[in-house]
């Protein structure tokens, strides 16, 4: 994929994750959401750090112990390993394209 917006679908049954680059210690992904959210009471609890930016659309991000944040295009978030978080909602009118960078010495 040469352009991150290539082939973004307006409607998906499930969130779509596409690996853009993977090397020891780092994985870069495109995530496309079209209204999907984390299941009720589901929290991500990841072994590695993650850094995300929303490129199109919008989303509600909840991080344990913090106020819910609305992410619009250009908004960034750092999600440290083991910091529980969930996606409360994503835009239903347009695709939300996220760029996610997962990293850590032990990430394969």
Pick 15 or 75: Cβ nearer a copy of itself: 75
Buried b (16+ CB within 10 A) or exposed e, 9-34: eeeeeebbeeeeeeeeeebbbbbbbb
- The pattern of x and - marking residues 44 through 83 that bind a copy of itself according to CB under 8 A reads -----x-x-x-x----------------xxxxx-x-----
- The pattern of x and - marking residues 3 through 42 that bind a copy of itself according to CB under 8 A reads xxxx-------------xx-xxxx-x--------------
């Amino acid at each position: 994929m040469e352009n991150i917006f290539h082939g973004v679908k307006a409607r998906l049954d499930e969130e779509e994750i596409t690996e853009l680059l993977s090397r020891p210690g780092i994985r870069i992904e495109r995530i496309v959401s079209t209204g999907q959210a984390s299941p009720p009471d589901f929290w991500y609890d990841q072994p590695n750090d993650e850094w995300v930016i929303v490129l199109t659309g919008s989303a509600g991000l909840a991080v344990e112990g913090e106020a819910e944040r609305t992410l619009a295009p250009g908004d960034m978030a750092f999600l440290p390993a083991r910091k529980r978080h969930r996606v409360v909602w994503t835009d239903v009118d347009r695709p939300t394209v996220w760029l996610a960078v997962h990293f850590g010495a032990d990430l394969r």
